[in-house]
Each structure stands twice: as structure tokens, then as C-alpha cells.
Amino acid sequence: MKASRVIIVRGRGVLSPRREVDQKKLLQMYERGFRALTGQPDLREGFRSFFHDRDRLGLKINTIAGRELTSVPDVTLGLAKLLAGKGSLKKNIIIWDRTNRELRASGYSLNLRQGIQVFGTDTEGVGYDPTLVSHLNIGSRLSSIQAQHITASISFAILKDHGLAGVTAGMKNYFGAIHNPNKYHDFNCNPFVAELFDTQPIKNKHKLSILDCMVVQYHRGPSFHSRWAEHYNALLFSFDPVAADVAGWQIIEKLRAKKGLPSLREEDREPEYLFTAAKMGLGTAEVREIQTIEEEV
């Protein structure tokens, strides 16, 4: 079933230890991932199954942890260019996050003019939408980028261990789309991650999750600690936001087990919010119900 399928594409050596990107291999990884995800050999057709011609697409990245644990700009731009070129989107793509400072610190060049745009919510004239989104336990202002500028969204998140949430990935990435994420870290971020995702401006625009697993922080996240960061060189794709994060969580558990670390359950910080999200009908949290396809390029 399309909704609960997760594609993991690994590309050995795609990112060098000096964070240089093998562009050819990266492109192959994206192409392989999208083909497997959509079931369409023709990328253009595949993209049409989830974007409309007139969509304005947001790639919500996560630059909070700084250069070492952020999507390398070439990795993000590689995706944006593929979507712009093979997709019907032309150049209606915004790569964005909370602040221009964090984007710059992660190596991104801001671009507010033509082409693929790159800017933060704190850009003069952008900011947070004045409407207070009030839904279940959530009361937040959304970035105007999410609320107004875009019509479709990819959560292009970094997969990380998270001291409070257990795991941060595609769903929690939208914490960076609100003005007050600091208010939602109680109780292992449960139910807040799920409830935020369930708000109309997020749920209705979200098209798919792509997890950047090039470098996975499997312990002591979400800050960068080289000791517990693995060069995993993978991209993970899913239309199901919950299944994507559950599959990401399994990667983290695998890496933790390999290093002899206790599981997140043993540390009492399993990402419960994923089960809450499943109960809310946002996707599948049961591992046995998720079809994971692993590919290697």
C-alpha cells in the first residue's frame, strides 16, 4: 500500500568525511528513491502524482544544529533542482527554515530573487502569520512561508536522536515552522508533535517526508556529537509521515544497538508521539505494517 511504504536508498561514499557530495551518486539516489516511491519509471509522471503544476513547493529543512548536522546545501539543492527540472514546478521552490542566521551558518546562500529561493522565516517582510492556529493543545503562529507562501511541502528533515522526544525527524521538523516550539517539549513532545502536524496548514500541504540520513546522530541529539554520529549515507522517502519517522527511529535503534547503547525504550524516551499520530489517523506506526524497501546505488 502506497501510504505505508518507506524507501531507503543508500549510497556508499555519497558524502565524504569532508562533507563533499558525489553529485552523480546523489542524483541516482534521488531518482531511485522517487521511482520506488511512486512506482513510476518516469520521474515527471511520478512527481505529477503528488504535485500540481501551479504548486509552490516548500522544502522545510532543519539547520538548528549547525553545519555538521544539517543537510549539506548540495544535497538540498540537488533535490530542488531535480524537482524543478523534471517536475512541473519550474522554479517555484523555497528552501527554508527558521532563521537566515542558521541557514547561513549551515552553508546556504540566501536567495530571495529568482530561481530556487532560500530564506528564513525571520526575513524582513516574512515573519509569522498573524493568525493564531489553535488546535487541540496547540496554540501557535505559523511561519508565513508555511501559511502563505507555499501550497505544498516536503519535510526534508535530518534524522536525529532527541533527548526529550526520543527521535526527531520529518514530523517534528515542523516545530521549526511555528513561533513557539519551546512550548512543546514537555512529556516527550507527546502529543504536541502529532497535534501540530494535524493542523490544517501543515497536514493539508504536506506531500511527503524525506529524511536526510547522510549523517545520523543516534545518541545525545539533537546537538551534534561526532562520537555518536554515523556517516550513514542514506535518504529515506515516504508518503506516510508517521511510517517515515518510525523507519528513521528503527535506524537509530539499530545504530544504538551496534554501539552497545540502550534502546530508547530502555532510556524511557521512546517517541510516543508517533503512536499518538497513528491514533489520530496521520499514518502507520506499527513496524510490521510498514513495507520498507532498501536500495543501494
For the record, the C-alpha cell of 116 comes out as 530556487
Sequence-distant (≥ 6) Cβ neighbours of residue 266 within 8 angstroms: none
Query: Residues touching other proteins: how many (CB under 8 A)?
Result: 23
The answer to the question of residue 225 lying near other proteins (CB under 8 A) is: yes
Owner of C-alpha cell 517517541: 271
The answer to the question of residue 107 lying near other proteins (CB under 8 A) is: no
Q: Are the C-beta atoms of residues 245 and 169 closer than 8 Å to each other?
A: yes
Amino acid identity of residue 3, one-letter, is: A
Residue closer to other proteins (CB basis): 186 or 296:
186
The answer to the question of residue 115 lying near other proteins (CB under 8 A) is: no
Binding string, residues 161-180; x marks residues near other proteins by CB under 8 A: --x---------------xx
The answer to the question of residue 128 lying near other proteins (CB under 8 A) is: yes
Residue closer to other proteins (CB basis): 108 or 224:
224
Smallest distance from other proteins to CB 195, Å: 13
The answer to the question of residue 134 lying near other proteins (CB under 8 A) is: yes
Please give the residues from 230 up to 289 whose contact with other proteins meets the rule CB under 8 A: none
Please identify which residue in 48, 185, 203, 231 interacts with other proteins, judged by CB under 8 A. 185
For the record, the C-alpha cell of 71 comes out as 543537510
* Contact stretch for other proteins (CB under 8 A) within 72-80, 111-119, 122-130, 237-245: 122-130
Separation of alpha carbons 236 and 8, rounded Å: 4
* Contact stretch for other proteins (CB under 8 A) within 61-69, 142-150, 167-175, 202-210: 61-69
Please identify which residue in 64, 167, 210, 290 interacts with other proteins, judged by CB under 8 A. 64
For the record, the C-alpha cell of 59 comes out as 522544502
C-alpha to C-alpha distances, 132 to 10, 139, 193, nearest whole angstrom? 41, 6, 17
Residue closer to other proteins (CB basis): 45 or 186:
186
Q: Name the β-bridge partners of 210.
A: 156, 237
Residue closer to other proteins (CB basis): 132 or 293:
132
The answer to the question of residue 45 lying near other proteins (CB under 8 A) is: no
Q: Determine phi and psi for 291, rounding to 5 degrees.
A: -90, 110
Residue closer to other proteins (CB basis): 134 or 200:
134
For the record, the C-alpha cell of 236 comes out as 529515506
Separation of alpha carbons 217 and 224, rounded Å: 7
Separation of alpha carbons 169 and 6, rounded Å: 14
Separation of alpha carbons 247 and 53, rounded Å: 30
Residue closer to other proteins (CB basis): 55 or 198:
198
Bridging pattern class, strands 229-238 and 5-10: antiparallel
- Interface residues with other proteins (CB under 8 A) are 64-66, 99, 122, 127-128, 132, 134, 139, 163, 179-180, 182-183, 185-186, 220-225
